[in-house]
Structure 1
């Protein structure tokens, strides 16, 4: 990587995002910069100050306000980093909308899709364009993002799709929810499954276009599954937390991937869990009555 590196984490005020920012700040050097982002100015400032003061922190840490549902803001930040620093070296797309089990999935659909999917598409486009050689662009997803978790009637929307086609599929899903035709088309009630599949499909689409050049320059674009993590977002969905990792523990495998010197072609563009790719076509559609998250 470059002598002076620029790293950015979205959704970094708390939980896994905060742990990723802390890990980057500890493993990067004094000339490097970690940008901790979130949408609430006060929480961003407080989190960045706290991370900067940790005894383990070596890199510079700055807070940046970024509402990932504002795709223009994503583009402006990418352009700013390009103008100031010549680009960015590490982008960890981690933001997620918190949904509780008692919430109506349909009523929360727009917010959930905007944060998890529309934002992912914008990050892949905007930050992919300013990612420097030997860079890392990783989207935090989950093992639910493999294609087999969707009804087979929907597979053609994502399998081998371009980023434009993934976007179209996501907006078709959103429209079906609003029109109350989602169930008959095969979309599950639970938002997390199609959202994660779409995230992984978007990464695969971008990686397919960039693969040859990125592998030649030691650059990695991929999605990652951190496994079961004990956070405020995920805790309400689990009945048994005995196997859950702390955010710091879950961040470790993601950061190991960031700091691996050489890019494994077998991991490029894939959904990676604990250093290994998950087969794209694996998985089975969830039973709607079982609303517990499975990592």
Structure 2
């Protein structure tokens, strides 16, 4: 069996780092990416020292040149891609509600949390199609579920709802091209974003993303938590 190759965005800490670790432990070649090169390389060295097959590329998901460079490098060095995990995301809403959030905050959040995954998917789909078993996993949130939406966390919630819509749209056009596309909610995880009071470990938060990337899922265009389908 050929070794699978995965790209994980925002892999320098938290869930992204844990996803990279779990994929590496399964024998996947992991291309870890991060906007902050210093922190990204430190995370990469950590997993490399554990004997995992990991590589690092600096990537700013809001920068077209950076995205194109990554795609070209991956094509030249690896030839194909099996897994894309769109994990990079920001939360910069603070305590603002939908009534007082400023548009700059909304724009910045959408650029990272939605437009980044969109452009990466568009650019990398040709490589994913070569795989024959391509997977795109979008790390979303229950805050993006329409049935649970409220007026707080406005930019973040808007972005995750849009990311879920992107999942449905990508899954539809890739259904017959050998690429599965799904969203997942990691739950409330003890990360820099989730805080120390969160109820889940990073290992628990990463599990469903790793399963969607490597498991016998057989489904596309859906939203998952704890390996079970949940409502949009």
TM-score bracket, shorter-length normalisation: 0.7 to 0.9
Shift of 1:200: 0.5
Shift of 1:230: 1.0
1:146–1:278 contact (8 Å) kept in structure 2: no
2:93–2:153 contact (8 Å) kept in structure 1: no
Structure 1: gaps (5+ residues): 152-186, 281-295
1:15–1:247 contact (8 Å) kept in structure 2: yes
1:254 aligns with 2:209: yes
Structure 2: gaps (5+ residues): none
Aligned match of 2:82: 89
TM-score by length of 2: 0.88
How much is the aligned-residue C-alpha RMSD, in angstroms?
Answer: 2.3
Which runs of structure 2 are paired with 1:202-281 in the superposition (5 Å)? Answer: 202-214=166-178, 219-235=179-195, 241=198, 244-260=199-215, 262-265=216-219, 268-280=220-232
Aligned match of 1:52: 48
1:105–1:189 contact (8 Å) kept in structure 2: no
Distance 1:24 1:8 in 2: 10
Which runs of structure 2 are paired with 1:173-184 in the superposition (5 Å)? Answer: none
1:158-198 deviation per Cα after TM superposition (whole angstroms, max 9, x unaligned): xxxxxxxxxxxxxxxxxxxxxxxxxxxxx877112211110
Which runs of structure 2 are paired with 1:1-295 in the superposition (5 Å)? Answer: 3-28=2-27, 32-54=28-50, 57=51, 59-99=52-92, 101-102=94-95, 105-106=101-102, 107-131=104-128, 132-149=131-148, 190-214=154-178, 219-235=179-195, 241=198, 244-260=199-215, 262-265=216-219, 268-280=220-232
1:215-264 deviation per Cα after TM superposition (whole angstroms, max 9, x unaligned): xxxx421111111111111228xxx53xx11112211222122221x332
Distance 2:153 2:88 in 1: 21
Tell me the number of residue pairs that the alignment of Structure 1 and Structure 2 aligns. Answer: 226
Shift of 1:100: 5.8
1:142–1:224 contact (8 Å) kept in structure 2: yes
TM-score by length of 1: 0.70
* Secondary structure in structure 1 of the residue aligned to 2:211: helix
1:222–1:271 contact (8 Å) kept in structure 2: yes
